[in-house]
Amino acid sequence: MKIANRKVTAERLVRDALEKARHFADYNIFTFLNEEGAIKKAREIDARIAKGEKVGRLAGVPYALKDNFLSTEGQTTAAAHILEGFVSPVTATAVEKLEREGAIMIGRTNMDAFAHGSSTESSYYGPTLNAHDRERVAGGSSGGSAVAVALDIVEFATGTDTGGSIRQPASFNGVYGLKPTYGTISRYGVVAMASSTDCIGFFTKTPDDMNLLMEIANGQDPKDLTTLPDYYDESEAKKIKKIGIIKDFDNTSVDSEIRNALVSKVELARSKGYEVVEIEMPALKYALAAYYIIVPAEVASNLSRYDGVRYGFRAKDTKDLDALYKNTRGEGFMPENKRRIMVGNFVLSSGFYDAYFLKAAKARTLIVKEYEKAFEKCDVLLSPVTPNPAFKLGEKTNDPVAMYLEDAMTVPLNLAGVPGLTIPAGKTKDGVALGLQLIGPRRSDKSLIEFSKELV
């Protein structure tokens, strides 16, 4: 990242980033701009550098924070009305690690409320616009973060990926986006969506920046007992030689320009001596249905804590405690939050549990096994991120299933816990950004990042 050469001051970098953020205000990227806090921190870093003190690997690097990461700077709302006014007294482990290295948060980014969505249209604060086409969606749920990096406002941004919420907006805006192996980065202090699939990750402009951020952010955290000791298992690492292409991946047909982008990367890989094999993964077509059972079930449980009593929004003039809960939740959640909570309570309710939740958990086993088998035949999978490029604003907001279908190729990784890296893959003839994803076995994150340089 450009701070490393120290030819500019941290204050200059932060002021430039804030200036760009204001310039692009109509893209609705930020829910909060950290004007005073960021400049104060930048001055502190400049003073330390002037004194010859050692500073961190991200000293003075401006970054954008998805609004579901808790920190003491600004409200943490997860772009949801029900968290309005919540200023956290605690800081997420990931944020602590970045800031310990000197990174400076210049703003909190817009998202689908509680990360429920694939377009950043389901935000209490309105949609974020696509970086390259203002009539199209930013993707989601980490739409603001993807656009902040794509428009070069910041060097990097944080995201969360429960079913594609990093990889899909990265693809829609033409930047790198990594969903690490499940458990690589601590989830402590990040607003929970579905605890068995939630992953913390990043948006960057280069693979090297991604690797640096992973080196900084990974590791075991006593505050999140589902954290792995490292992000890369040297003992199991294989040199990538064989690339797998998934045969008949989809239950939706893939856009021809995305297919062409895939073919051209395959040809590039072949020309560099990589072997390419076709892999059959028939269970993947059930991943989306399994995902939209398992994740709403976990959502219903995780979101039961929002009751208006302890923090955030509280409905006014309620006659008793029950009405306080019901009105707060009725007014405080977006329609998509309500749909997911209700579907979750449906699939968990007596009489339906076996047919839905248990069935989906068994399907999950088949999906996990299918990836294990695939990685016996290849070292990495190369696949589309989505069936279609970024769609028009408003095109799918009234049809939840149509919106869900856009997640068909991202959700299987979350169910299996394997890492996925979105790489930029050119643009459509209309100038809409395209991306592809590299998928590897558990704890192969570093291999994916390294290998992505071969496909530029």
Partner 1 sequence: MDINREDIKHLADLSDFALPESEIDVLGRNLQDIIGYISQLEELDTDNIEPTYQVFEMENVWREDEIKSQDASREQLLALTKEEKDHQIKVPKVL
Which chain residues interact with partner 1 by CB under 8 A? 86-87, 89-91, 182-183, 196, 222, 225-226, 228, 283, 286, 289-290, 292-293, 300, 304, 307-312, 314, 318-321, 323-327, 329-331, 333, 335, 338-339, 341-343, 345-347, 349, 355-356, 358-366, 368, 399-401, 404, 415-417, 442
Cβ atoms 160, 198 nearer than 8 A: yes
Which one of the listed residues 71, 118, 141, 186 is annotated catalytic? 141
Which one of the listed residues 118, 123, 165, 452 is annotated catalytic? 165
Q: Is 349 annotated as catalytic?
A: no
The closest alpha carbon to 250, from 432, 42, 407, 71, belongs to 407
Nearer to partner 1 by Cβ, of 19 and 399: the residue is 399
Nearer to partner 1 by Cβ, of 24 and 353: the residue is 353
Cβ atoms 148, 130 nearer than 8 A: no
Q: Is 165 annotated as catalytic?
A: yes
Nearer to partner 1 by Cβ, of 290 and 433: the residue is 290
Nearer to partner 1 by Cβ, of 39 and 361: the residue is 361
* Minimum CB distance to partner 1, residue 199 (Å): 11
Q: Rounded to an integer, what is the distance from CA 158 to the centroid of its chain?
A: 8
| Alpha helix segments (H runs only) across 162-286 | 167-173, 207-217, 256-271
Cβ–Cβ contacts within 10 Å for residue 228, how many?
Answer: 18
Query: What count of residues does the chain have?
Result: 456
* Minimum CB distance to partner 1, residue 352 (Å): 9
Q: Rounded to an integer, what is the distance from CA 219 to the centroid of its chain?
A: 18
Q: Within 13 Å and on the Cβ side, how many CA atoms surround 29?
A: 32
Alpha-carbon gap, residue 64 to 300, rounded angstroms? 28
Looking at residue 358, the DSSP 8-state letter turns out to be: I
Nearer to partner 1 by Cβ, of 69 and 274: the residue is 69
* Minimum CB distance to partner 1, residue 261 (Å): 28
Looking at residue 446, the DSSP 8-state letter turns out to be: H
Q: Is 186 annotated as catalytic?
A: no
Q: What are the start-end ranges of the E strands in 362-431? A: 380-384, 420-427
Alpha-carbon gap, residue 232 to 69, rounded angstroms? 24
* Minimum CB distance to partner 1, residue 399 (Å): 8
* Minimum CB distance to partner 1, residue 78 (Å): 15
Q: Which residues are catalytic?
A: 66, 141, 165
